[in-house]
Every structure is written in C-alpha cells, then in structure tokens.
Structure 1
C-alpha cells in the first residue's frame, strides 16, 4: 500500500493520481451539496412512486396518486367547452346588432369567426381575406351587396348565385357581345377606365359614355357608382374584381364571368354564420 502523500502548499492529502507531475487533491464535496444530491434522489424515487413514470411494454406505471395528464387535459377541455357553450348559446339567441353591442360577445364571436374563416373561407378569399382575381377583398370598403352587419349576414347565409338556396343573392350581367359590336365594347371599356384612370385612346371616352348610358346605367347607375340592391359594382373606385386593364374590362362587358359563393347557413349553422359575420365586419371594410 502506497504511503499517503500530503500536498506541501495546501496541506491536503492527495488521491494518488498524478499527471505530468500534477497531483490531484483529495478535497471532498461540500456536505450541503452531498445532502442536496441525496435529497434529489429521494425526491425522484418518491415522484416515480406517486406519479406515472416508468414505461412498460404496453402501458406505464400508474402512480399511487392516480394522476393522469390525459384526464387533466380532458377536464380542461370540457371546462373550456362549457364556457364556449355559454357564449355560443348567447350568440345563437341574439340578433347580430346585440352581439356587436356586447363587448364580451363581440370579442368571442370575432375569435370564433376567425377560426371558422380559416377553415371554410380562405380557399377563395385568402388567409388574410384580401381575395384574388374573381374573389372579393373583404378588407376594403367596396361591397357589392352592402357591408353592414345585416348585409354580410345575409350574404354568408344564402350565398351568391347559389341555386340550391331560394334566398340567395342573385344578379347576372348580360353578355353584351350579343348586343354590341367590338367598337362599342371598346368604347364602353375606355369610358369605364376613364372614371378612375386614363384610357389608352381618350377619343373613345365620349362615344363610350353614350354606350354606357344606353346599356349599363340601368344597373350601375348614371354616375356608375353601382347599385347594391342589384349587386352591381361601383365602377369609379378603381377596385376591380376581374382585372383593371381595358382588355379585362372589355372581356367582362362582352362575355362576363359570374362567380358563385355557397350558402353557409345550412352547412355551418346559424351560430357560426353570425360569428363569421362579426369577424368579416371587424376586418375594417364594414359600414
């Protein structure tokens, strides 16, 4: 047995390990650290006995306290569902104006409507509701059928040109290729462009104005600002559903394309439709 070696500088005995002339001092860990370490071991053992911990072939140890994170989550979800049901019942029983007047109901409906929008509406209107060619932007102030909450509710409930719903919004622009020649259509397109911009051939504006007055004013109005009762768009605000260049406008005059929006009341129910209405109205384009 080797003789114990005491370090000359510190006076502490060494472990007998030496590397390149450097000896390892035999300094024990502080007692508080050792007891803390032992306590963590005891705590770990107690925890694995009290709570589910050790994995087995087809399950895990249950723990003597009977705790289950799945049960806890299930209970929390049930509580959340109960709270949600209370708000949903209130939304179902109240008209849209009362929902908007109640701050708590409005906030709940806005949040629920945003979730419903992401599931059912983003495919056409986009995740930010900004739309695309042929699909309206719901963030602006341009509304074919009106942007008041009641108007939005009717549109979502019954859709646009959705023939399976008798109360659907319905309007169709006639195909003027059957009534007007190419020159007249080009002139009408030039006039429409002139309402918010500069046409490629300004000389066509005046004859186009006559064509518009004879064929288009009955729906779009003499001032071309549209008629919401007919779903006829405002042609003076430079907001276009099918494209803003003269070729796109001429094509829409000649052979118009008509979109279809489903009626959502039968699919989603009255409560969800109201929530969608509140959300869409909150986007900033409502009236």
Structure 2
C-alpha cells in the first residue's frame, strides 16, 4: 500500500496496491439501488401477505391465510374426491369381483403399489422378483396355491410350512442320493424317494402339494441357494425347514398382516400380487 495517493483528484479510498490497484469510492448505479430498495419493500410486503413473522411457536398467518400445509391438504382432498368412487366400490366387493372389473382392477393395482412397497417389497422385491431366501411372487409357482382367494388368505393369516429335518434318520449317502434326484428334476425315478416317505408331502411324482405348502421338486424354481443346487438340496433335506428340533433348520415364515392392514388394503394387495403375473 502506498503512503501517499498517487492519483490526486480521483475518488478513491487511498488504498493502493502494486502501484496502481486501488479501491474506488463511487456510489452504486441508480438502477442497482432502485432494485435493492424494491427488494426490501417486497420483503416487508411478503411478510404481511404470507406466513412469516415468528410469534412464539407459530408464525403470523398472513393476509391471505395461505400455507403449504393448507395447499397440501387441498391437493389430498382433491385426490380423495377422485378416489372416493372407486374406494366405495371396493368396500362392497370381493377380491375376485375386483379382478373381474377391468377399470376397478387397474385402479386397485395403481393404488396398491405403495402398499406393496411399504409391506412386501423388502422381502419379495419391488417387482415381486423375490430375494435370497424369499419366494418369487411374479411367476406361476406357488407353495400354497395362487388363486386370488388363497393369496388373500396368505396375506391375512401368513404362512409357515414345515419340512422335517431328515439328517437324523438318513445316512449321508442317502441324503446325497435324494439331493441328486431332486436336482435332476425327476425325484420319483429314485426308489429312495418312495421308500423314505418323501411322497407323503411332495406327491408320487414330486410335484408338491399346495395344501401342505410342499414344494414342486420337478420344476427349475429354487428358493434357497440357487447357485449351488446340490448343496442347497442336501442342506434342506438334512436340516429341514422350520423344524424346531434342528437349530440349523432353514427359517421360512410369511408373517400375518391381518392385524396391521384393513380388509380393503388386503384385498388390494391380493389383486396386486395376482396381477404381477403369477396368479392362477
């Protein structure tokens, strides 16, 4: 900074750097000052028109009485008014009847998407594609059946199938033989399948029984460890599913939603799941 101002007569502050860099003391342009004071006036006016000034725990209401919450609620009310006709119909219809009404069925699928995301997607995936240890519900393979009535019952009451742990009654060679038969897709061709009583739950041909929630062993659909099917089959045969006597038993439980969802919400979800493509 220079000790003396080398630019006499110039309206600067006297702060000089590097011989010629200086700070001028000119007034702001008139247009800028007009815009500045206009913004100040608008800010004050805004405070009177809209909620703004804090008074205790609440702001002033403003001359218009507008608020974001009021605008939000108005939007909700408008949506509810549109939905009211459909919701009234749903209350008086069964899930099967909803499916039979094309327009109402389309509405139900659209409105149940949020319900599915909140209560089902965590286990079954956003599109019903399933997850590790959780069944796919977008195909046509069902443990307990895929009718709209059965799906509704499943959502309401939950499911808990049981497979006995056979590791304590079968030899290692027998477990391996049965596992290979299951992986082949034709378990009934293996004599042990009949001799060891597998047909009691899975049927003579190994196609499963919906009444018991027993899996179809002849298809290519796997719930557990699909990458290593032989190891998966051996583990399930040895330790079973939901067998309380074996601490290593697989856990596979569908929780009940009848105590947390309304009947109408369950009907909507049943229709949604059915329309994913796997309903029967």
* TM-score, length-scaled by structure 2: 0.71
Q: Does 1:227 align with 2:209?
A: yes
- Residue matched to 2:150: 151
**CA–CA separation in structure 2 for the residues paired with 1:150 and 1:58:** 52
1:223 to 1:55, Cα distance in 2 relative to 1, 3 A: same
Match status 1:278 vs 2:271? yes
State whether residues 165 and 241 of structure 2, in contact with CA within 8 Å, keep that contact through their aligned partners in structure 1: no
- After TM superposition, the runs of 4+ consecutive aligned structure 1 residues lying more than 4 A away are 42-63
* 1:212 aligns with one of 193, 213, 218: 193
**Unmatched runs of 5 consecutive residues or more in structure 2:** 1-38, 243-251
Please state how far the C-alpha of 1:96 moved relative to its aligned partner: 1.0
Question: Out of 231, 250, 260, which is 2:234 matched to?
Answer: 250
Aligned partners of 2:164 and 2:241 also within 8 Å: no
Between stretches 209-218 and 67-76, larger displacement belongs to 67-76
In the aligned structure 1, how far is the partner of 2:236 from the partner of 2:109? Answer: 35
1:183 aligns with 173
1:262-277 to 2 correspondences below 5 Å: 262-277=255-270
Aligned to 2:4: none
Given the superposition, is the C-alpha separation of residues 104 and 48 from structure 1 closer, same or farther in structure 2, using an over 3 Å criterion? Answer: farther
1:260/1:49 CA distance change after superposition, 3 Å: closer
C-alpha distance in 1 between matches for 2:111 and 2:155: 15
Once the two structures are superposed, what CA deviation does each residue of 1:132-163 show, in whole Å capped at 9, x if it has no partner? 22x101112211111121121111111112xx
1:56: Cα distance to partner? 8.4
C-alpha distance in 2 between matches for 1:146 and 1:232: 10
Q: 1:43 to 1:125 in 2, by over 3 A?
A: same
Shift in Å, 1:51: 5.3
Q: 2:222 aligns with which of 222, 225, 240?
A: 240
